[in-house]
Amino acid sequence: SFQMEVNHLQITPLLRKNSFPSARKFSGLDFRKEFKGSVLERKAKNQRRGIISSILGRFTDWTGISRKPSKRLNAVSDSLSCDLLCPIDEFPCEILLEIFAKLDRTTVIRCREVCSKWKNIIEDANVLRQTLLKPKTLSRLCIRGVPKKESGGKRMIEMRWIDYDTQSCKAILLPIPLNVNASPLFFAFSQFQIQRIVIQDLSFTDDIVHFLRMNLHYCPSLSPVQLTLSNLDFGTAKSLTLHHLLAVVGKTLEVLEIQSVYGIRPLDFTDAHVSQLDATKVRRLVVDKIRLSGCTSRSLLLGDDSLRLFISANNFPTLVLDRCNVTTGVVCDYSHSWLDSAQYDEEAVHRHQVCTVKRCHRVNAAHFEEECSKRRLNCRRSSVTRTTTVYNIQSEHGHDEFTFALFPVPVEDSKKEEGLPHLN
Amino acid sequence: TFTTEETESVTIERDLLRHAANLDKLISETGRDASNNPLPIHLPRVTKETMDALIAWFNEHKDDADWVEKKDEDNKIEDIPDYDKQTFDAIDQQILYGLIIAAELLDIKPLFDSTCKVVAGKLNGMTVEQMREYLDVECDFTEEELKTIREENEWCNS
């Protein structure tokens, strides 16, 4: 019959054990210690004793047969007997959490300020387990370096989130160097679902990427769709800096833009970086207005492998490639494969894809025309200006068109580059 | 029968306790409903006033349907039975808290839900200072910490 009772008592009270590791020093009254004969106390006791002794213990509990009261229980009830009131300060954390769960969003955020116990409860629930506040979608998170005159002389970074739906935005200023310990934003990030990240107007350093990674770690289901790096100084970046960033966000990106960056070196953006993306998801890859550092390099080591990656994934993002290491042949392959894939689409929609190749020293117009005729592509030069040549390649049935814009390496540059070794 | 902390004994009818899941199970398991077994269940930290309020609540709700756990979206904070709203508004804070704790202890879900909602309803819309006063909580942050927290709060509050 005792065995039966063991099975019956599958009551699940509110979880008590180790629910709030960070608020442990504030353990509210633990009723298990005081409520003799309570279900909770029995459960706790059983976890410490063997089966036989626990069954015996239950028996004596219920029938009220007096046993030697444990010293600990007595001490606790002694200290309680002088305090008949029960201020909320002694509320166990679980009850506080239940109350917080019923508050509206702004109030919960305000509660964080009240005292450290409350702060710990809220952060525990939200940051570690993301059960308290519903996530907030940010259309764009913009991390921008603030010019000195705006920030009053100090070097600052501004993090601004923008929500397209509600047309709202808010910014926070952080001092450089970014220090995760000094300004943790884990709580904020634990509510953010970020769709696009823009980093602009600053020196791209390991610090910033580290700070970003630490905070992004707390985002629920981080899956940004776009990463734009604009107007950055890559001179301060190490060769792995961008790799570190892409490691966290790369797999879900559909748009990757790196534009107007200076001080960049060949190893800073390569085929290896592109392979950190999901080749089937990328819709647009822009590498534009690149200013390589020094005179010792012709191009970024972003080359044919990336194009081949897209071809084999049967996914053809819009490309803008400035100062890259691609060759004419493979670019032509790319357009050919796009035309092939477009052809298999059922709808007779006019499809158009654009590929812009700028200042890539291994691509030139004449060669392109040759390659096109080799592949029997219907290629037509549609405009030639001093700086660009535009080709239109049409598919057989004329529905699909691939536009290839070529900006050759400017003459002054090629003179400079004559002495440089060829990158293969 | 029950004893409260002040060792006062209170008798409660068995069927009033329907909502107190823990007690229910406890009693039926141990067969205490038989009248020849009058050993009391001891409830420390439940004062006489709390006990009274508890009994009053039991009396009021004894015919209620069994408690159904509602989902978050449906569980509006205003959704409190009228009787509860009236009594809890008028009730002394300490008793209210006693009820919350008793409800959690004895696993009386509807009571726990109502009382928490009442407290939450009062907290909604209060400023930080008001919250501290209402619940008698001390602020243990330094100036700097407060500043950082406020900044972060400001930023993530839409």
Give backbone dihedrals phi and psi of B85, rounded to 5 degrees, phi first. -55, -50
Q: By percentage, how much of chain A surpasses pLDDT 90?
A: 26
Least confident stretch, A182-191, A215-224, A237-246, B73-82? B73-82
Q: Token pair of B12, please?
A: 């409660």
Residue B102: name the closest of B35, B34, B14, B2 by CA.
B2
Residue B45: name the closest of A40, A77, A75, A94 by CA.
A77
Pairing status of strand A400-407 against strand A389-394: antiparallel
Burial of A101: CB neighbours in 10 Å, binned 0-12, 13-18, 19+: middle
The chain B residue lying nearest A80, using CA atoms, is B45
CA angle A368, A372, A376 (to 5 degrees): 170
Angstroms from B16 CA to nearest CA on chain A: 19
* Mean pLDDT taken over chain A: 76
Q: What is the DSSP string of B81-145?
A: -HHHHHHHHHS-HHHHHHHHHHHHHHT-HHHHHHHHHHHHHHHTT--HHHHHHHHT------HHH
Helices (H), A265-347: 271-274, 304-312, 328-343
pLDDT at A54 over 70: no
Return the DSSP state at A325: B
Beta-carbon contacts below 8 Å between A and B: 157
**Is B144 within 8 Å of chain A by CB?**
no
> What pLDDT sits at residue A77?
33
Contact A35 B44 (CB under 8 A): yes
pLDDT (tens digit, 9 = 90+) per residue, A32-46?
444 444 454 455 444
Contact A115 B135 (CB under 8 A): no
Residues from chain A contacting residue B135 (CB–CB below 8 Å)? 88-89
Contact A116 B141 (CB under 8 A): yes
CB A204 within 8 A of CB A229: yes
Best of A102, A142, A161 to disrupt the B interface by mutation (most B CBs within 10 Å)? A102
Q: Token pair of A359, please?
A: 């200042």
**Is B132 within 8 Å of chain A by CB?**
yes
> What pLDDT sits at residue A67?
40
Written as tens digits, the pLDDT of chain B (158 aa) is: 444 444 445 555 555 565 666 666 665 655 555 444 445 565 666 677 777 777 777 777 766 666 666 555 555 666 666 667 777 777 777 778 778 877 777 777 777 888 888 888 888 878 888 888 887 778 888 888 888 888 888 888 76
Q: What is the DSSP string of A180-214?
A: TTTS--HHHHTTEEESEEEEESSB--HHHHHHHHH
Contact B119 A99 (CB under 8 A): yes
Positive or negative: CA dihedral B58, B64, B69, B73: negative
ipTM, interface predicted TM-score of the complex: 0.78
> What pLDDT sits at residue A345?
64
Residues from chain B contacting residue A88 (CB–CB below 8 Å)? 97, 135-137
Residue located via tokens 């501004």: A158
- Left (φ > 0), alpha (ψ -120 to 50) or beta: where does B70 sit? beta
Report the DSSP beta bridge partners of residue A52.
Answer: none
User: Mean of the pLDDT values across residues A362-377?
Assistant: 88
> What pLDDT sits at residue B19?
61
- Domains of chain A plus CATH, in order, are 32-130 (no CATH), 135-319 (no CATH), 327-418 (3.10.180)
- Predicted model pTM: 0.73
Best of A98, A116, A142, A158 to disrupt the B interface by mutation (most B CBs within 10 Å)? A98
pLDDT at A80 over 80: no
> What pLDDT sits at residue A103?
83
Q: How far, in Å, CA of A107 to CA of B34, rounded?
A: 49
Put simply, the chain A residues between 181 and 210 with a CB less than 8 A from any chain B CB are: 183, 185, 187-188, 191-192
Burial of A419: CB neighbours in 10 Å, binned 0-12, 13-18, 19+: exposed
Q: Which helix (H) or strand (E) holds A41?
A: helix A39-46
**Is B21 within 8 Å of chain A by CB?**
yes
Q: With bands split at pLDDT 50, 70 and 90, how would you rate the model's confidence at A381? A: confident
The more confident residue out of A329 and A89 is: A329
**Is B133 within 8 Å of chain A by CB?**
no
Contact B100 A104 (CB under 8 A): no
Buried b (16+ CB within 10 A) or exposed e, A347-386: eeeebebebbbbbbbbbbbeebbebbeeeebebeeeeeee
Put simply, the chain A residues between 254 and 293 with a CB less than 8 A from any chain B CB are: none
Of B45, B72, B136, the CB nearest to A89: B136
